[in-house]
């Protein structure tokens, strides 16, 4: 069995106790309590995890973050944000505003056209999937005319629709 972790002396025991009590929310309290229980109780991570209803890996992570950066190491935000965007939100909106002007004039826009322009705007090679994700992020959707055969005769199609024989079968 692994020995309990050693907590770095960032705070004295009394300061550490006060720090635990000052936790602003439940998640912060849980992280701070894990450090406290490891420091004062000398409990191994699996016992701390069991008492706090957390995973053993989470307890080891919290202890590691505290030991590396002190109390500030546990005051972190979640992983939210725009990790996969190559342009800031304002630049993406400006880029799509230009495309919207072209679409409003009646030009047909396809993702491959935007792909090349977007690569030039970002200065890097992008996948076509990135372009589709960008369009999806901004609420664009695929709108296009139904495909038509080049030799289709509209008059013949209308005549066929009007004179379509009914089925003899009763419904």
pLDDT at 162 over 90: no
- pLDDT tens-digit readout, 22-59: 999 999 999 999 999 999 989 999 999 999 999 999 99
Residue 132 CA to residue 140 CA, distance in Å, equals: 9
The model's pTM: 0.50
Within-domain flag for 142: no
Task: Give helix then strand counts, H and E, for the chain.
Answer: 8, 0
- Rounded percentage of the chain residues whose pLDDT exceeds 90: 57
> For the purposes of burial, counting CB atoms within 10 Å of the CB of 134, is it exposed (0-12), middle (13-18) or buried (19 or more)?
buried
Domain interval for residue 133: 89-137
Query: Are 98 and 46 part of one and the same domain?
Result: no
Hey, is 127 helix, strand or coil?
coil
Q: How many domains does the chain have?
A: 2
Furthest-apart CA atoms within the chain: distance in Å: 92
Any idea which residue has 């004295």 for tokens? Answer: 12
Query: Are 18 and 66 part of one and the same domain?
Result: yes
Within-domain flag for 161: no
- pLDDT tens-digit readout, 116-156: 999 999 999 999 999 999 999 899 887 666 777 888 888 99
Query: Are 17 and 65 part of one and the same domain?
Result: yes
Q: So what's the pLDDT on residue 70?
A: 93
Any idea which residue has 């076509």 for tokens? Answer: 128
Domain end marker among 74, 105, 123: 74
Q: So what's the pLDDT on residue 80?
A: 73
Q: So what's the pLDDT on residue 168?
A: 65
Within-domain flag for 166: no
Within-domain flag for 168: no
Q: Report the chain's mean pLDDT, rounded to a whole number.
A: 88
Average pLDDT over residues 71-88: 82
Within-domain flag for 115: yes
In this prediction, residue 94 has a pLDDT band, given cuts at 50, 70 and 90, of very high
Question: Number of C-alpha atoms within 13 angstroms, CB side, residue 161?
Answer: 6
Query: Are 66 and 35 part of one and the same domain?
Result: yes
Residue 54 CA to residue 49 CA, distance in Å, equals: 5
pLDDT at 104 over 60: yes
pLDDT at 171 over 60: no
Within-domain flag for 128: yes
Query: Are 120 and 69 part of one and the same domain?
Result: no
Residue 108 CA to residue 106 CA, distance in Å, equals: 6
pLDDT at 167 over 80: no
- Write the secondary structure of 65-109 as one string of H (helix), E (strand) and C (coil): HHHHHHHHHHCCCCCCCCCCCCCCHHHHHHHHHHHHHHHHCCCCC
């Amino acid at each position: 069995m692994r020995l309990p972790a050693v907590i770095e002396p960032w705070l004295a025991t009394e300061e550490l106790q006060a720090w635990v009590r000052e936790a602003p929310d439940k998640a912060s309290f849980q992280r701070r309590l894990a450090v406290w229980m490891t420091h004062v109780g000398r409990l191994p991570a699996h016992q701390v995890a069991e008492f706090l209803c957390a995973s053993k890996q989470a307890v080891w992570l919290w202890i590691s973050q505290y030991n590396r950066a002190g109390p500030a190491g546990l005051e972190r935000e979640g992983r939210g944000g725009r990790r996969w965007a190559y342009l800031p939100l304002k630049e993406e909106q400006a880029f799509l505003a230009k495309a919207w002007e072209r679409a409003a004039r009646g030009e047909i826009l396809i993702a491959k056209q935007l792909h090349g322009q977007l690569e030039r705007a970002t200065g890097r090679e992008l996948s076509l999937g990135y372009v589709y994700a960008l369009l999806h992020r901004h609420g664009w959707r695929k709108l296009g005319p139904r495909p038509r055969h080049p030799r289709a005769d509209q008059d013949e199609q209308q005549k066929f629709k009007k004179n379509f024989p009914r089925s003899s079968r009763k419904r």
